[in-house]
Structure formats: structure tokens, C-alpha cells
Amino acid sequence: MEQSHTPHLDRVAGPADLRDLSDSELEALAHELRQETIETVSRTGGHLGSSLGVVELTVALHAVFRTPFDKLIWDVSHQCYPHKILTGRRDRMSTLRQKDGLSGFTKRTESVFDPFGAAHSSTSISAALGFTIGRDMGQPTGDAIAVIGDGSITAGMAYEALNNAGAEGRRMFVILNDNDMSIAPPVGAMNTYLNRLNAPHASLSEVAQGFIAALPQSLREQALAARTRACGGPPDATMFEHLGFTYIGPIDGHSMPDLLATLRMAHTRAEGPVLIHVRTIKGKGYAPAEASDCCYHGVAKFDLASGAQVKSKPNAPSYTLVFGRALTDEAARDPTIVAVSAAMPNGTGVDIMGKRFPRRVFDVGIAEQHAVTFAAGMAASGLKPFCAIYSTFLQRGYDQIVHDVALQNLPVRFAIDRAGLVGADGATHAGSFDVAYLANLPNMVVMAAGDEAELVHMVATAAAHDAGPIAFRYPRGEGMGVELPERGKPLEIGKGRVLREGSMVALLSFGAHLPEVMLAAEALEARGVTCTIADARFAKPLDTDLIRQLASHHEALITVEQGAQGGFGAHVLHYLANEGLLERRLAVRTMTLPDRFIDQASPAQMYADAELSADHIARAALSALGIETLSRYDKRAII
């Protein structure tokens, strides 16, 4: 592809170069930056809409503040692509979200311009306040600026930080990037409140000029006066002002003159915490993104001219789609089934149920803690709530799972999407820990689907289970292509299944790594090592009869899971040890994710890095048998 004409962008090696440009040149630079962002993501895929929405804001922030001495913190940071281009990473943008390439989020080890890593929402204000305290206690850091979206600011953690920062009264900046769109359309009273603040007002350019021309008074007085001119009414205090912030806005986030004037005035005169309310358009400047329902939040590679995404045709439906359809099927038969999502109705598949039963699906916004306790309350009322949350985000509601669900033994059904390693989003989004953090809780039942048909049965199992909380996990992406049942059949709690019988090695799989286990067994069988393949289905309660049988009739037992140490394999070992089954001649290996975070790559590359490929499983079996050095097993890859 021919290089775009970018005379202003070519002059920028880092943010310091922006401060040598005139305001008109900065505006031209923003146009070039937007086009380069579009072209980059068309080749790599990634978070396009959110990045396009903050192009002018990114340029203005780096032009006004002295980054990296001043700390610019992007909440979630999926909007950081323009920031990366401007901060010395332009020549590496083609590696975005790929193995050994740039992260799709801010990352401290990647650049000094990324002072705080992110990928989960609503952390930026807390981190900015931390930097602010550091500055005031003599650390070598300047101002802290948190850029947070209208979706992220709905989370409880953001309110906690606003409350604390307002009480501290220290100079810091919060930029509220209000685009009326999170991953899904924002929900809740905060969105309604922000829409009221966005009522029609006078020319924002005139407002910005008013800021500059104002007499030398305190910033609060200027901001209140500006609001009077902008809103045409009395300067009633906003919620943010009641919390101790000076409120400025709303400002057109795509007007470079307004942004520069406002930021310069705030930077010059601020004494305490300031919140600048900026209105932007997600996907700004690229028609297909602006017209999309989700504003091209996350896209595959796409054609620049048409915006059509380049996606391979799946061989089987995705696990998310299978879950959404199975849940809707169960809901059609049981009017007490409800679903809860934390700002991810499309991502979790509950939107399928929502289209058919809209009054029984609840999107609570980016508020996983609330989602869990909300579901617990519905369970206590007699409803059957399915709380559908990605594994990595469910971590945010762990105290609520312990205290509000497990302790009270309430039948909340946790549908855990994106379990295991997820590819391009990397370590921040990996579903590594849910088995370990759920299976150690009293009253909890923990399942994992070995294929998409098993997922259908697990949805039915969860719907039928009223004895307490139950969770089932499944991966991102398409299934194995197995035939799906017309209707899910509840499984017997704590019972696995045997798929193949052999005598030498027992391969005990928990969850969606079953295809790799099968490949490993085929390779071993081809070399005379007979294998039993068992699908555990349950990490809690364990199928102890199955485990005892496998331990008693095989020379080696290998457990395999797509989770961290301390999960399924640890529970199996605990049982074997306490039952004295390790005292006989049984070789046991537990194959889990390693005790480290794994950077982004394709899922296959990530599992190879984790030594969980079929080849690694086969080699572990040979090692357990003590025959890996025999002549009939050469040192080449087994598969």
C-alpha cells in the first residue's frame, strides 16, 4: 500500500515535536493521524472506533502537557493507537496485537509514555490520584491526566476515585470522553445525566475564547461563568462540582481550537482537581465506523474503501453463539430465567435472549461487582439468573461471588466466556484464573465444556440446578463442529465421561483443550502407547470414582486444563494424595498454564508458549512413563 502523504506527522518523532507546531499545523496533523490510524488498523485489526474518537484530543493533550513527565493515563486504553503513533512507536504499528509486537493497550514495559498499563476499565482516576500524591510527596513526576469514557465512568471504582480525589483537593485532571457509546450503547442514570449536561449551548469556540479573555479569577469562577454562557441558564453545580472538582464543558472534542484553548487555560490556572467534559464521536472520520452499531469497536482486518471486514468463514458456530441460543431456548421454557450482562450483551451472547425476551435481560453497565450481587438478589427472590461475564472481568466481582453468592448458597449461574488464552488481546484478557478462584469456594459447582454440545448440556444443567451457585466456562472462538443436540440435557453433577479406553496412559481433560488431548492421544497410539481419554466436565465436585478408576488401571495420569496452577489439576492431586493413591506406582503430571503472564499472539502460539500443545501433552505422557529416551521415540516433534 502506498504511504499516505503526511508532511506534519513525518515531523513528529515524539510529543515534544508537537509543541513546535502552530495550532493550524496541529489541526492538520490530527487529520493525518486519523488517516494513518485507519490504514494501520485495516491491516492489523484492532480497536478502531475508540481510537478514531480521540484523535484531536490525543494531539491536544500531548501538545499542552509535558508528557512523559506529566502522566497521561488512558482508561481501558483501547483508544491508545493515535497515542502510540505519536510517542515513538509509529514504525512498529504494523506489529500491533501480534506475537512479539505492540500491545493493543498501554503497557509500562513498552514505553515511558505509558505510565500505567490498562485494559480493564475504570482504573485511570485512581491511578492518576496515585501519581498526584507521588508528585506532592516529592517524586519526579508532573501533572496526572486521566482520560475516561462515559461507559467506564459508570463503574463503582471510578466513583470511589472521584470521591477520594475531590476530598484530597489536589491539582489533577480528569478528561471525560463522552461519546455516548461504550462497547455497547451506555446504560444507566449516569448516561441520562451526561445527556442533560450536553443540552444545546452557544458556540464552544466563543466559550473557549471567553476562558482566555476572562479576568484573572479562580478557575472555578471561570468555569461557572463559561457554563452560564454555554448553557444559557444559571450556573447550577454539577455532580462533579459537588464532589470537589472544577467542571468545564461540555466541549467539542473534534474542535482543535476549543480543545487547545480549554486545556491551556486549565493547565495554566488549575489549583485543585479539574474535570473537563469532552464530547466526541466514536469512529469519527471513517463512515463505516460511524455507521456501525458498535462503531467498529473491535474489528478484523478490513478493506479501506468499503469497510468490509476480512474474516475467515467459520467451520462451526462460536461458543458464544451456542451459549446464547441455548440460554434463549431454556428461557423459552422457563419464565423465571433472567440474564445479566456487564456492558457486554453482544460479546456474551445474551443479546440473543434479549431480542426475544427483552424484559428479562439486564445490562448493568461496566459494573461487575454490582452485576454479581444484583444476580444474587434475583436468585434470593426465586428467579434463575444467568450472570454472563468474561473470565477476565469476573475477577472484578470476586468478593461479591464469595460474600453475596457462595456464602449464602444462592443459585446464581455464572456463564464464563473467553476462558483460557484469547489471542490478540493478550494477558490482560486471558481467562486464566477462574477455575482456581471458583473451585476453592464452598457450595460452588464448577464445570467446563469440552465441546459446544457439552456447552448446551451445561446450560441446561445450570438452569436445573437450584441447590446453590454453579459456573461453567467456555473459550473464545468457534467450536469443534460437533453435532448439537436439539435440547440440552442436564448432566449428573460431578460426573465425567470416558471417550476412549486404553491401558497405559490416562489423559484427563478439563474443558476446551479436549481437541489437543485427542491429537496427543492419536500420536501416542500411533507409537504403541495406548490411551484412555476422559472428559472430567467438573472441577468441583470432582468425579472421584472416575479418577480412582483411572489411577488404578493406568501407569500414568495426565491432567490437562486451560487454566492457571491451583485449578483442576491441584484438586485432582489433593484427592489422590489424601486417598493414598499416589503411594502406588502411578506417575502423575498436571498440565496447566505456567506461573507467568503470556503476551499476545495467536491462541495456538500462546498455548505452545505455555507448553500445552498436543506435542507437549504427548511428551509429558512419555516422560511420565519413563520411555521418552527409548529408540522408538526419537527427538523430533511427535506431531
Alpha helices in 233-318 (DSSP H): 239-242, 256-269, 287-291
Q: Are 330 and 377 in contact (CB under 8 A)?
A: no
Cell numbers placing 142:
508532573
Alpha helices in 198-299 (DSSP H): 204-213, 219-231, 239-242, 256-269, 287-291
Cell numbers placing 175:
478528561
Alpha helices in 465-526 (DSSP H): 514-526
Q: Catalytic: 492?
A: no
Whole-angstrom Cα distance, residue 372 to residue 400?
Answer: 6
Which run of H or of E encompasses 339?
strand 337-341
Q: Catalytic: 282?
A: yes
**Could you tell me whether strands 172-178 and 246-252 are parallel, antiparallel, or unpaired per DSSP bridges?**
unpaired
Q: Catalytic: 368?
A: yes
- Of 90, 284, 396, 418, which residue is the catalytic one? 396
Whole-angstrom Cα distance, residue 597 to residue 392?
Answer: 13
Whole-angstrom Cα distance, residue 585 to residue 484?
Answer: 40
Number of residues that make up the chain: 639
Q: Are 372 and 390 in contact (CB under 8 A)?
A: no
- Of 368, 452, 454, 516, which residue is the catalytic one? 368
CB atoms within 10 A of CB 355: 12
DSSP characters over 145-188:
EEEEETTGGGSHHHHHHHHHHHHHT-SEEEEEEE-S-SSS---S
- Of 90, 282, 284, 540, which residue is the catalytic one? 282
The answer for residues whose C-beta is within 8 angstroms of residue 439's C-beta and 6 or more apart is 446, 539, 540, 567, 568, 571
Peptide linkage before 68 cis (omega within 30 of 0): yes
CA R_g for the chain: 27
Active site residues: 282, 368, 396
